[in-house]
Structure 1
């Protein structure tokens, strides 16, 4: 939002600097981006009076002028503009002046005649594209005065970033209200009284609103006998200062009121409205419409249109139509002021890629109680600039009147949320300062009535934020709040947030890097990974074509992270992500089911350079080890891994089961798919269901036992087995013996000698750990138990030792 400092002072008597105002507004949540001085490039231009103007003796289009520019003597200036004449007040660039386009004015002779300056056009001054003649100034200006001072141009303009919830600050009126509150200044709005034509009969245009949920208010007035012409210089250049191109007095007034009051308006040529009526309805599917920019738009049934009796004449809240455009020949105007449902305007604007100053404000909400006031203000200004008369009669339909929210407010709750004790009188003044009417029903139970220009104030938390904003969030000491835990909740299952927090700590502690990705992916991403289309939730208003659906898996985002890291030269990557995946569910309140998932991606080198065997790459053992480590961290048993019958993008793929329940899958991303993400090595990926893991974790009863006192004894045993025998079968057999001295068994090596490959055999080495709780074991009894294990394996599994 561009805010002219001189325009602001018409509403509140702020006398400070632009920098001080920007700093204070920034602390109120309205961040100052820049201070623009739009007319500094013409600061040296002077007002001149053309005393004499005669034809050039050696040219048929040049004129020799004598100009009073306040220098004490008349200046000889040669001018080629066709409209220059004696008696005019004009802008003059003196010798040594540099124009906005970089040209420097020097003494010159044009066809033998001296020229000591330049009489400028608007284009040469950078004020517009007009260059068909010089700029003729008002007659009451004094020669020699600086042009920017004589025309009272807006010298300082603040570029303020407005957050989406503060639609009230998208106007000079709203920012003046904030300024008055911040600096304890009076606030007033200069009135423009509306005078109606008492002699002419009333003229009302009937208004029909087909869907009251899409148009809450529609009003209009008729102005007859107008003259469409350029606006006065001051109004044109004020619009120029805030980045708006002046068009004509009628159109310029609608833009002026939009920036001043925040209410978008639109003017129709009344004589072009067929049937003499306004109908607010949705468009027909595939209906065509040409907007003011000359482009033909194909509409859908979700687009709200302003129509006459036969056809659309405007896209509600976005842009008017070429078929009812105000032209220099227009004499009768129908001026519209309305309130549309913000979501409807946003859908149409985004779908068509058509954003305007009007749509920007309608999407965020306008002040419904100021709608008629802004209409009357614009009518009065139009009549003062373009002549004509405002006819009696108001076209009005308001199917959904504004009803302010009554919001409970507890000062003690505000203190608790802000972390500081705020004086009760200060809280009341702060709420009243932002426009709320405060009813003190009880010492700690107030009621605040929402002002019409603050649609964002609907909850107690919103009011607390306003009190904190006025108090100054920078004035609140940064003190950590005390953490209190009640004994009666000890041992209760932890919250989802706390559970996810512990998983994050586990991942970081294990050396994994956390990835945070958008919940939006593209249908093409899911199709590429062969993920089913059933259950997908498409985005009706996607930010881009590659973010048009909610993710159903974490893999697309993690694989994109892989590609981005590889592009930066990363050799090894260990990522984890905790996030929700989404699936349509008609039984859900939101029609979407959210499931928390943990994704883990491994790629490239196992160790950093400098470590032993740094060239070795990660493999299945790494991804399985990380999954097993997580389950141990959650006090769950070792996972049971079964080959998956089929998987969309993993090959080989393994289902991970805990207590017989599937909790996720892991495996290698298919090489052809991984190659599309620039991977040249194996990509290992796991996705685990955090909802199931949390439920299993909550059901675990943690038991404590004394730490072992006596040392363990370890023995290795190598099993020569057929390739079809799984490690899990061996482990199950050993553990099933129930030997009291055998504490643990684990696979430590897998070797396939060249001589045994033809026979399809491999060597599996297991480490047996023995321990006695009350004494140190000797070799004889350890070897005896080891022999029992070996004999059992040979007899039951048919292996060789």
Structure 2
């Protein structure tokens, strides 16, 4: 949510800086995520002054140029060459002096330099409005009124002021703070100051010429509906002050009527809607539900099928607006509108939320209605908007306020024990301080007793309904930082089963980060088209969008989305990891499983002059997987190739019959779903199984061998489907005493070999810890290994 600093100060008298206000708001629960300086006019007209044209003569070398002498209040007149046809002596003009940077309405900013134009010195520029961002006209220079004071800064003359924009991360329960008034209330409560509401005392009906009665057929969905009419308005562009207010908070301006409704919404938190009164068939407004399947075209020109549960604002013939969500295309205000019907209502939050989700419509109005608005604000906001419309669009208020409120919403009554306040907060707060905070928040003390108070909570605090809510309000304003940390901490012994899941996760995360990986965190909701098995997919009954309609079954696609996002922004070299859950539907219910995923793509090392730009390979990923396995002291794993829809080439490590991790090159089909056109390598750890496979680390050591090791190499011709794992396992099983290691150091497959064959070059490391090996012992072991390879795998020794 965006809050303007200047706008906020209209509600509360304070000289606090933006940094001080940010700290206070964050401390009381309205977290300020950023503060941005905003200029309503780019550049703020810095370096521009009001000048007086004392002389204006023809340029000797150019028919369309004039040479002027301009007094800018600096003592010496400036000579300015000007090409505008309307420049003349005696004018008050805007002058950009040497060194100033001007920001045109269209085009790039440019700096004013002292220069020569057709041989004549020019010491500035006399400006047109589009040249300095004040408008779109370029018919000539701006000619100001005669009372403009020479030498005055243009910034001061045009009343240009900088503003600051607070970006507040509003939590869903704080509907009361979804406006400048709401934020000001909290700030005033902290500062123990007053809130200055806009003055609506001048409101009165000018006549009674246009009465449009209202009938509510669904009072549950619409407990209160306030309205009035305004005739004789002129719909046009809003004045600068109104456009500037909305521009600062990022709201697009439409016209003066619509802009006023948006202004009041962001000012007071009360959504309004303006109808063209002449388009209300039957001259009556009916708040009701339409028949199932009724067609309705909204302002975005989309035809929608209405549900029988959608509350609609209708005339006697047809619906005009989806209540609290979005207007219709035929009933809105446009340039031809002369008479306005203005609505200010209180709608049921649940009904609006369901309708908004049903049609996939999210608007500023629905945002507030869904969370809950103040039923006591409708009439005040209506008066405020009516007075503003008269100010910016003219016209007359042509009816008294119609206020249908059959069953008033009663304020919440809450009993609060002082003992519970101190117990939950963890500090002894004086009773008087508690009362001051409660009253500063606008909560009325109905009954004051020795050990408790009975409170009446105002209707704008929709989330304060229980004692614990009041205590939270007291703590917010009292200050979390004012709660002392106790010197003594009482805690029970940790009897959790080892290994500790969080500790192991942090250990591996630290290791991966230290090796150049970056952690990502993705949404557990994903697209249904990513499902591996639609029968076991967990679908969302009321999805926010089609992109978030299914609980993910794999971490693969969330990682690929991150890779696609980065590659589209020229960041192709990535090493990523993510810890997260995946979800499945089973015959007995639902199952969730914790996973770790690794992703590698692009260059293995950053581009440097002193090494080649080698790309990531399967073995880079395997090295990362092996490092994790080794760090967790997991042993007894068996490796084997796998076939999977996720992998073009895949491999897995198994512990018994269960797959601990599968990894390899991602299949082209999976990459195509995200439009990724380069190789991606992916590893998927079943983290729940990993935790069970971890062995307790024991410190062990052995003496450095006194005897030397011996290496023997062997080149074998084998079938293509024989793996190194098979050769290694056979060798280590056949010779357990002195064979320490087997390594594959060369592979050859080519035309020189017979069909279906490949050549492996293996090295064998032999060592006896007690004595030096003899050639006879070594030859005996190698002969035995060759025999086993020939018998078991049909291998042939290459000479």
Distance 2:337 2:516 in 1: 71
Aligned-pair distance for 1:743?
A: 7.7
Within-5 A mapping of 1:333-732: 333=341, 335-341=343-349, 344=352, 348=356, 355=363, 357-362=364-369, 364-371=371-378, 374-375=381-382, 394-396=403-405, 411=422, 414=425, 429-430=436-437, 433-435=440-442, 452-455=459-462, 470=477, 487-489=493-495, 492-494=497-499, 496-509=501-514, 511-516=515-520, 518-519=522-523, 526=530, 531-535=532-536, 551-559=552-560, 574-583=575-584, 594-603=592-601, 619-644=617-642, 646-670=643-667, 677-679=676-678, 683-697=680-694, 700=695, 702=696, 704=698, 706-709=700-703, 711=705, 714-716=709-711, 718=713, 720=716, 722-723=718-719, 724-732=721-729
1:779 alignment partner in structure 2: 773
Task: Give CA-to-partner distance per residue, 1:37-75, whole Å, 9 cap, x none.
Answer: 789889999xxxxxxxxxxxxxxxxxxxxxxxxxxxxxx
Q: SS at the partner of 1:553?
A: coil
Distance 1:340 1:242, change over 3 A: farther
Q: Residue 306 of structure 1 aligns with which residue? A: 313
TM-score (norm 1): 0.65
Give, in angstroms, the shift of residue 647 of structure 1: 1.6
Deviations 1:431-475 (A, max 9, x none): 654445799999999999865434466899988886776567899
Aligned to 1:317, which of 318, 324, 346?
324
Assess, with a 3 A threshold, how the Cα gap between structure 1 residues 745 and 260 changes in structure 2: closer, same or farther.
closer
Contact 2:575 2:598 in 1 (8 A): yes
Q: Which deviations, in whole Å up to 9, do the C-alpha atoms of 1:459-503 show, x marking residues without a partner?
A: 9998888677656789999x99999985452x6235544332222
Kindly state the Cα deviation for residue 390 of structure 1 after the two structures are TM-superposed: 5.2
Q: Match of 2:214, SS? A: coil
Alignment: residue pair count: 698
Kindly tell me: are residues 659 and 190 of structure 1, through their superposed partners in 2, closer, same or farther at Cα, counting changes over 3 Å? same
- Give yes or no for the alignment of 1:790 onto 2:785: yes
Deviation of residue 661 (structure 1)?
0.8
Structure 2 vs 1, CA of residues 688 and 343 (structure 1 numbering), >3 Å: closer, same or farther? farther
Question: C-alpha displacement at 1:648, in angstroms?
Answer: 1.2
| Distance (whole Å) between structure 2 residues aligned to residue 457 and residue 216 of structure 1 | 22
Alignment correspondent of 1:161: 167
Q: Label 1:407 to 1:704 Cα distance change in 2 as closer, same or farther (>3 A).
A: farther
Q: 1:159-215: CA deviations, max 9, x gaps?
A: 433333354344443243234234432335467578899999x996331228x5xx3
TM-score (norm 2): 0.65
1:219 Cα offset (Å): 1.7
What is the aligned partner in structure 2 of residue 218 from structure 1? 224
Relative distance call for 1:532 and 1:431 in structure 2 (3 A) is same
Secondary structure at 2:189 match in 1: helix
Matching residue of 2:218: 209
- Give CA deviations for 1:637-657 in whole Å, capped at 9, x if unaligned: 24323333x421423333432
User: Residues of 2 paired with 1:16 and 1:570: CA distance?
Assistant: 42
The equivalent position to 2:743 in structure 1, one of 742, 747, 750, is: 747
Indicate conservation of the 8 Å contact 1:407/1:460, yes or no.
yes
Contact 1:227 1:386 in 2 (8 A): yes
Structure 2 distance, partners of 1:656, 1:553, is 18
Deviation at 1:152, TM superposition (A): 13
Maintained 8 Å contact 1:198/1:392: no
Q: Distance in 2 between matches of 1:191 and 1:343?
A: 33
Secondary structure, aligned partner of 2:644? coil
Q: Quote the Cα distance in structure 2 between the aligned partners of 1:769 and 1:785.
A: 12
**Pair 1:34-2:37 in alignment:** yes
Distance 1:569 1:240 in 2: 37
Sort the Cα spacing of 1:192 and 1:577 in 2 relative to 1 into closer, same or farther, 3 A.
closer
Out of 230, 239, 254, the position equivalent to 2:242 is 239
2:195 is aligned to 187
- Give the CA deviation at 1:33: 2.8
For 1:228 and 1:359, how far apart are their aligned partners in 2?
30
Cα separation, 2, equivalents of 1:793 and 1:459? 79
* TM-align CA RMSD: 6.3
* Structure 2 stretches lacking a partner, 5+ long: 51-89, 97-101, 106-128, 140-144, 247-251
Matched position secondary structure for 1:636: coil
CA positional deviation for 1:263: 0.9
Q: Cα deviations across residues 66-112 of structure 1 (Å, max 9, x unaligned)? A: xxxxxxxxxxxxxxxxxxxxxxxxxxx97235799999xxxxxxxxx
Q: Distance in 1 between matches of 2:104 and 2:623?
A: 69
Deviations 1:597-616 (A, max 9, x none): 22233456667899999687
Q: Distance in 2 between matches of 1:448 and 1:735?
A: 80
Q: Deviations over 1:332-362 (max 9, x none)?
A: 957441234279469749967774x534543
- Secondary structure in 2 matching 1:176: helix
CA contact (8 A) 2:207 2:396 kept: no
Quickly say closer, same or farther: Cα 1:38–1:471, change in 2 above 3 A. farther
Is 1:33–1:160's contact at 8 Å kept on the other side of the alignment?
Answer: yes
* 8 A Cα contact 1:278 1:307, kept in partner: yes
For the pair 1:227 / 2:227, whether they are aligned, the reply is: no
Alpha carbons of 1:760 and 1:447: their partners in 2 closer, same or farther (altered >3 Å)?
A: farther
> Following the alignment from structure 1 to structure 2, what is the Cα–Cα distance between the partners of residues 429 and 771?
85
Determine the structure 1 residue equivalent to 2:289. 281
Contact 1:639 1:657 in 2 (8 A): yes
2:174 equivalent to 1:174? no
Query: Quick one: distance in 2 between partners of 1:663 and 1:203?
Result: 72
